[in-house]
Chains A and B, each alone.
Chain A
Amino acid sequence: MTGTTGQSIENGSGGPAPVSASGSDVQGVPLYRLRGLTFRAGGRAIVHPIDLDVPPRQVLALVGPNGSGKSTLLKMMARQLRPSGGAVELLGRPVTTMSDREFARQVAYMPQFTPPAEGMTVRELVGLGRFPWHGALGRFGPDDAAKVEAALVQTDLTEMAGRMVDSLSGGERQRAWLAMMVAQDARCLLLDEPTSALDIAHQVEMLKLVRKLAGGSGVGVVIVIHDINMAARFSDRIVALRRGEVAARGAPADILDAAVLKRIYGLEMGILPTAGLPVSYVP
């Protein structure tokens, strides 16, 4: 990573001005502080300098059209990609100073494509979430076992715990991976399109579960998601990217607005008022 934190903040303030309706809605110490985070590949900027705070106990949805840089941003937060510039702070510490396992105790990341994890039972998969705590040689103690059972209960997988992961349906498999992340006992969950392969009923089920986790154990969640209506239903805040820049950010009600959606997707979209949140549609 290049640049010190001080410089990054200057860079960040010079970046694109956030379009916010409700202003800063961060309470207390943020989990994540991104300042001037940039990613370039082949001389082209994929992510322009971005500033972002992720609060605890909230679900933050990253939305945007294909190629807008939302997955790239998430991967930089998960230390899967090395940023080209800017700084990432986790609980006030630069993430570059943390060891792999130290970081994994704080942050759990689910990649967009999860392999079938062949020849493993659900309980074993979930048990792998304890690796950051016991390491390669440490004992898998009663505390670890208890965390695994708790994660299985939370994700309603107890009855399937003995089944093979590759025999599960898509929705159940995603839940098993989520359970592994819960067992990881991290402060922050980063999910890259966890619902993309699921039908609408399983999407809702998955997102409710994520919602419940954020509410119950107080973890912060960042979720990359395509469906703007789903994002609005299940998140506290939405950050919309377009061509690697923040096109809009704010509460769901503020994003579900014809003018804002036009700015994000470059498409005329209509808004239907309903009893709860409005619903966007393509006329």
Chain B
Amino acid sequence: MPANMRLSPLAFWALAAAAAAVLFARAVITGWPSAGGVEGRLQEIVLTHGTLPRAATAMLAGATLGLSGLLLQRVLRNPLAEPSTLGVSAGAQLAMAAATIHAPALMAFSVGLVAFAGGLFTVALVLALTWKRGLEPVSVVLAGMMTALTANAASAALILANGEYLFSLFIWGGGSLTQQSWGPALSLAVALAVGLAASALLLRPLALLSLGDAAARSLGGAVSLSRFLVIGVAVWMATTVAAQVGIIGFVGLAAPALAALSGARSLKQRLVLAPVIGAILLWLTDGLVQFFAGPGGERVPTGAATALLGGPLLIWLLPRLKLFEWPSLAGGAAQARRAARPLVLLALLAALACIVFAVAIVAGRGPDGWTLASGQLLADLADLRIPRLVAAAGAGAMLGVAGVVIQRITGNPLAGPEILGVGMGAGAGLAAVLLASATAGLGWQMGGSALGALAVLLLILALGARGGLGPERLLFAGIAANALCSAVLTAIIALGNQQSYMLLQWLSGSTGRVGASEALAGLVGLCLLAPPLFLAARWLDLFPLGPAAARSLGLAVGRARFLLVACAALLTALAALFVGPLSFIGLIAPHLARLLGLGRAWQQLLGGLLIGAALMALSDWLARMAAFPYQLPIGLFAALLGGPYLIYLLAKGAERHG
């Protein structure tokens, strides 16, 4: 593109602001009190207590998030840091959901405080976990995302367990900006003012921090203290937004990045521009949401809409963004010894999986406590338990194998079907199918999930390939895809109809509705898709050498990658249909296989398959037993089993490498 056709960044933002202003003016003019009497009085109230504070809230929330994101990115030297990638918003949501159910008095006392406690707790957890890795950006974001996903799963379970009572919380989770008063706007204004004042005071220490700890300390900065102060302020701003209007993703991530791309070089310039851009972004989005709202009220919460707009924006940004150079993650992963007798080890794993299966079929809780079923009882129960077990174990096996493939292709031990948004992509595909027809059959559902997963995976690989599939870019693309797809899901769930409930159930991963036909479909899928991967084991041996070396060894890299990716996406989609998108099994099973010393591709594939199947069967059994007679979502259980383990793995890897 010739240079003279480019819009100057400032002109672009002025135009965006003008567009938002026009939309706002239109809303004001439509709502202007025209009639006389009571009706006119009512219109006046709607205008002064609805339309006007809403615009103010949008701008203030956007500015607060932009500032919060900028501070977090600065202080952690991490271009991916923002309230939602660090788990702040998810933590706030979980705290509020839990408080609503178990301690309503706390919520009555101060919603903001509950949210702040939740957000602060998650961020402290994430930072403590990655402290030993020197708060290295990708690990921080990874730990943050895992914490966030786990917290989301827990929130979804709470909502499901308490039914209609909390459904409004989910709509809140989508970030609705509808206002009845000036209260939220005032709270936000206070938060923003405090944040701006604090940033002005901490300007110099902040500038020092961006040089890195060692340099900052050698220049005499009090590194830890200023860092904690800044984080505290940023979290408080983000949780205030979460408490007042709900989770609004992306603004915190996009506003600072866009400010930098718009030519704000110094910290002072960015401190001004990031909040301004954040305000414009959210104001414009909210204006568009209102513009497209039907007569029955808006269909999409604004928070979900920001993600819809922000996802593509982020994907566009990705190649243009300079990511900090950090020591390669690859060196940080835990080194594995090699198994002396891999075949014996694999046989042991298979035996272990069989034991888990047997326990899951035979053992259970009844009205009279624990029982071991036998005879006629076993025959009766088997009809109920076996399809579930087959579906769960099959899904675990599929995720395990898919995880091995994805980790090997990307040469990135932290990649996995969940983190890269493949599972969420499957959800978006499923949502599209359900939206078209609420009674779509299993085949259609599978097809939709598979297409969604494939589209996401191809998009991510295409994006990541530009940066040589480095872990940072890949994760960044994964975050964008995850947020984009979950925005679609949130928007549809917020409709509050029958499909919403189905999707919510899917999101938390429930095997409850699995019958014999589903189990059979899963088994057939596994038998069709997994064996070809074993035939391609030599390809998978070559991929970790990097594309250049693999090509020079005579591998047709592009074609092989496409075939393997397609296979992995299909497996993930099929598995997600049964156990939901956030189980982490696809991340953990390959890791465990590697740690046990299964290094060759075929060994790791087989090990990942067995471990995935056993773990998922175990999760399913625990999910049935833990809160008997109620059944918890299996996906949640797997995430609760797996998330902490993976976080432990991250911390352990750091110790070895100091």
Contact = CB atoms under 8 A, between A and B. Distances in A.
Interface stretch (B293-301, B327-335, B362-370): B327-335
B549 interface: yes
B538, B539, B553 — most chain A CB neighbours (10 Å): B553
A119 B599 contact: yes
A136 B533 CA distance: 11
Contact of A118 (B333, B536, B548, B556): B333
Interface in B521-539: 535-536, 538-539
A118 B539 CA distance: 16
A205 interface: no
B553 A136 contact: no
B552 interface: yes
A131 B555 contact: yes
A111 B335 contact: no
A207 B536 CA distance: 36
Interface stretch (A99-107, A216-224, A254-262): A99-107
Nearest to A166: B335
Interface in A169-189: 177, 184
Interface residues of B, number: 29
A168 B415 CA distance: 25
A257 to B, nearest CB: 35
Contact of B330 (A78, A118, A120, A128): A118
Contact of A124 (B336, B413, B546, B600): B600
A110 interface: yes
Contact of B599 (A108, A120, A131, A177): A120
A115 B413 CA distance: 13
B544 A120 contact: yes
B548 A80 contact: yes
B302 to A, nearest CB: 40
A78 B552 contact: yes
A115 B599 contact: no
A110 B549 contact: yes
B552 to A, nearest CB: 4
B538 A136 contact: yes
Contact of B554 (A117, A118, A132): A132
Contacts of A129: 553
B541 A128 contact: yes
A114 interface: yes
B535 A119 contact: no
Contact of B538 (A103, A109, A111, A131): A131
Contacts of B548: 80, 109, 111
Contacts of B335: 118-119, 164, 166-167
A164 B336 CA distance: 9
Of the four ranges (under 10, 10 to 19, 20 to 34, 35 or more), the interface on chain A belongs to 35 or more
Interface centre among A79, A99, A131, by most chain B C-beta atoms within 10 angstroms, is A131
A116 interface: yes
Interface string B611-639: 00000000000000000000000000000
A137 interface: yes
Nearest to B337: A164
A132 B554 CA distance: 5
Contact of A100 (B538, B546, B556): B556
B554 A100 contact: yes
A27 to B, nearest CB: 27
B549 A111 contact: yes
B411 interface: yes
A109 B599 contact: no
A120 to B, nearest CB: 6
A229 interface: no
B561 interface: no
Contacts of B554: 99-105, 131-132
Contacts of B333: 118
B599 A124 contact: yes
A44 to B, nearest CB: 16
A118 B410 CA distance: 13
A115 B546 contact: yes
Contacts of A118: 330, 333, 335, 413, 544
B560 to A, nearest CB: 9
Given A118-B544, A119-B599, A136 B535 contact: yes
Contacts of A104: 552-554
Given A116-B331, A120-B599, A100 B555 contact: yes
A78 B546 CA distance: 15
A154 interface: no
Contacts of B541: 124, 128
B101 interface: no
A108 B552 contact: yes
A121 interface: yes
A111 B328 CA distance: 17
Give the top 6 A-B pairs by smallest Cβ distance, nearest first: A104-B554, A101-B554, A109-B552, A132-B554, A111-B548, A119-B599
Given A114-B545, A124-B541, 4 more contacts: A114-B546, A118-B413, A121-B599, A125-B545
